A = this chain, B = another copy of it.
Amino acid sequence: MDILHRVGIKSPPGEVYKALSTREGLAAWWNNNTQGDGKVGGVLQFRSDAGGLDMKVLELHPSERVLWQVVDGPAEWMDTKISWDLRQDGEYCIVLFKHQGWKEPVEFMHHCSTKWAIFMMSLKSFLENGKGAPAPNDIKIDNWD
């Protein structure tokens, strides 16, 4: 079972790729406490009061694709994969997102689906307006946030 999302960002694919593949980029729209190694085979570490999340970088194709695998974090996320596919379409960079490999459609999957959409809009805002809303200043959606 997969979580899917799509946004169009008025920014070159190379810029979107940078926001997905560097610690500085990820800190600007997802989690301002981003550490670790963003190279292929490295592990990115995202930390918050609620806990941590470690992502192994499996693929990096500049301006085209990023693939991570969850190696530590919430039980439901373990071994799931998260992909970002980019392509230019007119003035937009189209971003296709997939968080794949959920075992069950649990309530937490519902929560994460909505939350990913919020973070995609944060990514869009960061690239278009220079201002994202990364954790801990992210938009709250429910009582698990």
Contact = CB atoms under 8 A, between A and B. Distances in A.
A110 B7 CA distance: 9
A49 interface: no
Nearest to A102: B4
Contact residues on A (Cβ < 8 Å of other chain), bracket: 20 to 34
- Determine how many copies of this chain the complex contains: 2
Contact of A113 (B5, B107, B124): B5
Interface in A1-39: 1-8
B92 A143 contact: yes
A6 B107 contact: yes
List the 5 closest pairs (A to B, CB-CB), nearest first: A8-B142, A117-B117, A6-B110, A4-B110, A6-B111
Interface of A: 1-8, 89-90, 92, 94, 96-98, 105, 107, 109-111, 113-114, 117-118, 120-121, 124, 139, 141-145
Given A5-B117, A113-B113, 13 more contacts: A3-B113, A4-B105, A4-B109, A6-B110, A6-B141, A8-B144, A89-B143, A90-B143, A94-B143, A97-B110, A117-B118, A121-B141, A124-B141
